[in-house]
């Protein structure tokens, strides 16, 4: 086997391993939503306390996310992922043993701290192994695993909760995660790019200063912040919406509350990644137009929540919204990788995750506070405005900022190469 063939195999082995690790990451974040009614009854929780359970994870994740991204730029990304996976699985298993709401909130805080390094480390690890020709496709496969997991995890948690109680699902997920962490330790490897870069380049002060000077990056962050409020509302409250609106069992509510969103997302991200790689090969700015255009097209479908539709119409509109939104979202990570050098990507994702998780936590808690006044349907319909505005922002960024930001990246890379050559001559 040639070295080139071995690397080609390895880069897809890494994607396959992250498909399952990332899936478990999202299952552990979201599966608790399927058993909220049981937790509410067993631990005597109010709607606001249920919202606080979701917000505790999101806000602790947000607080630690920049540090997680910075760490992923300085140490072995493959080892960091394996350790993170083991730690969050221990927390998840412990969540099945709580007896009070404060205990659950504390463990959700710890879950946020343990999981915050995964996305920056995994996305940049994929970028280390995959060049522009396959990067969006590889990232699309990874994202498909995240979305598939939400359906499988939510439905399984609902079924186990209905038949065996809510604790067994959390214990089972924690145990599976510990086994997967051992596998990840041996399967994941750092990419050829990562081994050739100096960790010293990932200086925190200079990196943050570099982020500030890239307007396109902050437009992507603003887009993610706006949409995350709504998406995390869906993750946390959609199963309960179906249970209350259509009088479903926990298993049915968990399935309907995740399947239409996530099955469409799997299709959208998988197709969108391939589409992005092919359509934008010689015109990278098209990634921004695809991202913004699909977001704007998806937003009107959420207005269906205002009209108390029947189940089939509602399911169709949710599917259409999620499909179009994720066709656009598949361009997001590749754009981020285009905007920054390889040794500064993880912290860029970490800072962005800080904003998105803060907004997501606010959205989840706000839904719990205003649920009795406006109903979950009215709250979900309002998300359409946030998604549409985010799409318009991205389109504006593509027109006014993207080209100048990419020129800055190209010039910076040229200066870096000249400096490296000069240093080599001096040493020689």
Q: Are 45 and 105 in contact (CB under 8 A)?
A: no
Res 33: pLDDT: 79
Among the listed residues 142, 135, 147, the one whose alpha carbon sits nearest the alpha carbon of residue 334: 135
- pLDDT, one tens digit per residue, over 246-257 is 988 878 887 888
- pLDDT tier at 420, thresholds 50, 70, 90: very low
- Higher local confidence (pLDDT), 74 or 400: 400
Res 204: pLDDT: 62
Res 419: pLDDT: 41
**Arithmetic mean of pLDDT, 209-229:** 90
In this predicted structure, the answer to whether residue 13 has a pLDDT above a threshold of 70 is yes
Helices (H) and strands (E) in the chain, counts: 17, 0
The proportion of the chain whose per-residue pLDDT surpasses 90, expressed as a percent, equals 38
Greatest alpha-carbon pair distance for the chain in Å reads: 76
Among the listed residues 383, 147, 188, 131, the one whose alpha carbon sits nearest the alpha carbon of residue 271: 147
In this predicted structure, the answer to whether residue 4 has a pLDDT above a threshold of 80 is no
- Which residue carries 């195999």 as its tokens? 9
H helix or E strand, kind and range, residue 144: helix 132-164
What is the DSSP code (8-state) at residue 285?
A: T
- pLDDT tier at 236, thresholds 50, 70, 90: confident
**Arithmetic mean of pLDDT, 376-380:** 92
> What count of other Cβ atoms lies within 10 Å of the Cβ of residue 86?
18
Res 8: pLDDT: 53
In this predicted structure, the answer to whether residue 58 has a pLDDT above a threshold of 90 is no
> Residue 262 and residue 62: Cα distance in Å, rounded?
23
In this predicted structure, the answer to whether residue 417 has a pLDDT above a threshold of 70 is no
Can you tell me whether residue 290 is helix, strand or coil?
A: helix
- pLDDT tier at 143, thresholds 50, 70, 90: confident
Res 95: pLDDT: 92
- pLDDT, one tens digit per residue, over 182-207 is 999 999 998 875 444 444 444 566 77
In this predicted structure, the answer to whether residue 112 has a pLDDT above a threshold of 60 is yes
Residues 6+ apart with CB under 8 A from 264: 318, 319, 320, 321, 322, 323, 326
**Helix 3-30 with 77-95: angle, nearest 10 deg:** 20
**Arithmetic mean of pLDDT, 161-176:** 90
> Residue 336 and residue 69: Cα distance in Å, rounded?
13
Domain boundaries, given as residue ranges, for the chain:
3-193+202-414
- pLDDT, one tens digit per residue, over 342-373 is 777 888 888 888 888 888 888 888 888 888 88
> Residue 233 and residue 303: Cα distance in Å, rounded?
15
Among the listed residues 349, 266, 368, 276, the one whose alpha carbon sits nearest the alpha carbon of residue 26: 266
Among the listed residues 129, 309, 328, 303, the one whose alpha carbon sits nearest the alpha carbon of residue 220: 328
CATH node for 3-193+202-414: 1.20.1250.20
Residues 6+ apart with CB under 8 A from 150: 26, 27, 30, 235, 258, 261, 262
Among the listed residues 170, 159, 168, the one whose alpha carbon sits nearest the alpha carbon of residue 32: 170
How high is the mean pLDDT of the chain?
84
Q: Are 157 and 257 in contact (CB under 8 A)?
A: no
In this predicted structure, the answer to whether residue 168 has a pLDDT above a threshold of 50 is yes
In this predicted structure, the answer to whether residue 123 has a pLDDT above a threshold of 80 is yes
**Arithmetic mean of pLDDT, 399-406:** 92
What is the DSSP code (8-state) at residue 407?
A: H
> Residue 127 and residue 351: Cα distance in Å, rounded?
18
Res 422: pLDDT: 37
Res 425: pLDDT: 38
In this predicted structure, the answer to whether residue 418 has a pLDDT above a threshold of 70 is no
In this predicted structure, the answer to whether residue 330 has a pLDDT above a threshold of 80 is yes
363-386 burial, b at 16+ Cβ within 10 Å, e below that, comes to: bbbebbebbeeebbbebbbbbbeb
In this predicted structure, the answer to whether residue 421 has a pLDDT above a threshold of 70 is no
Q: Are 93 and 85 in contact (CB under 8 A)?
A: no
In this predicted structure, the answer to whether residue 232 has a pLDDT above a threshold of 70 is yes
Tell me how far CA of residue 404 lies from CA of 82, 206, 249, in angstroms.
38, 20, 53
- pLDDT, one tens digit per residue, over 258-300 is 788 888 988 888 888 888 888 877 788 999 999 999 999 999 9
What is the DSSP code (8-state) at residue 100?
A: S
- Higher local confidence (pLDDT), 359 or 152: 359
> Residue 175 and residue 169: Cα distance in Å, rounded?
10
């Amino acid at each position: 086997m040639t070295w080139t063939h071995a690397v080609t195999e390895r880069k897809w082995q890494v994607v396959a391993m992250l498909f399952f690790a990332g899936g478990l990451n999202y299952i552990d974040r979201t599966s608790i939503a399927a058993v909220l009614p049981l937790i509410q009854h067993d631990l005597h929780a109010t709607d606001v306390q249920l919202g606080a359970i979701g917000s505790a994870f999101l806000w602790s994740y947000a607080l630690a996310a920049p540090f997680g991204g910075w760490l992923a730029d300085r140490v072995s990304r493959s080892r960091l992922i394996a350790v993170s996976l083991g730690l969050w699985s221990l927390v998840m298993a412990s969540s099945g043993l709580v007896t009070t709401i404060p205990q659950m909130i504390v463990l959700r805080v710890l879950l946020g701290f343990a999981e915050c390094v995964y996305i920056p480390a995994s996305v940049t690890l994929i970028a280390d192994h995959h060049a522009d020709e396959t990067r969006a496709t590889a990232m699309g496969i990874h994202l498909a695993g995240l979305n598939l997991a939400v359906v499988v995890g939510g439905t399984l948690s609902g079924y186990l909760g209905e038949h065996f109680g809510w604790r067994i699902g959390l214990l089972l997920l924690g145990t599976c995660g510990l086994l997967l962490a051992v596998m990840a330790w041996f399967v994941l490897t750092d990419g050829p790019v990562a081994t050739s870069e100096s960790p010293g380049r990932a200086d925190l002060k200079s990196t943050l200063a570099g982020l500030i000077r890239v307007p396109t990056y902050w437009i992507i962050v603003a887009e993610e912040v706006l949409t995350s409020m709504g998406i995390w509302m869906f993750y946390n409250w959609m199963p309960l919406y179906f249970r209350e609106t259509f009088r479903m069992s926990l298993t049915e509510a968990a399935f309907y509350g995740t399947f239409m969103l996530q099955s469409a997302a799997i299709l959208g991200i998988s197709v969108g990644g391939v589409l992005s790689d092919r359509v934008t090969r010689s015109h990278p700015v098209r990634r921004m137009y695809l991202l913004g255009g699909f977001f704007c097209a998806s937003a009107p479908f959420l207005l269906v929540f205002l009209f108390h539709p029947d189940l089939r119409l509602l399911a169709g509109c949710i599917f259409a919204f999620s499909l179009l939104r994720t066709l656009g979202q598949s361009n997001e990570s590749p754009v981020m990788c285009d905007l920054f050098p390889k040794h500064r990507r993880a912290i860029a994702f970490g800072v962005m995750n800080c904003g998105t998780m803060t907004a997501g936590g606010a959205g989840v808690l706000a839904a719990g506070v205003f649920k009795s006044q406006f109903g979950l349907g009215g709250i979900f319909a309002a998300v359409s405005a946030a998604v549409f505005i985010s799409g318009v922002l991205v389109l504006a960024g593509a027109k006014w900022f993207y080209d100048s930001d990419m020129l800055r990246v190209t010039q910076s890379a040229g200066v870096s190469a000249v400096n490296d050559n000069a240093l080599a001559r001096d040493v020689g």
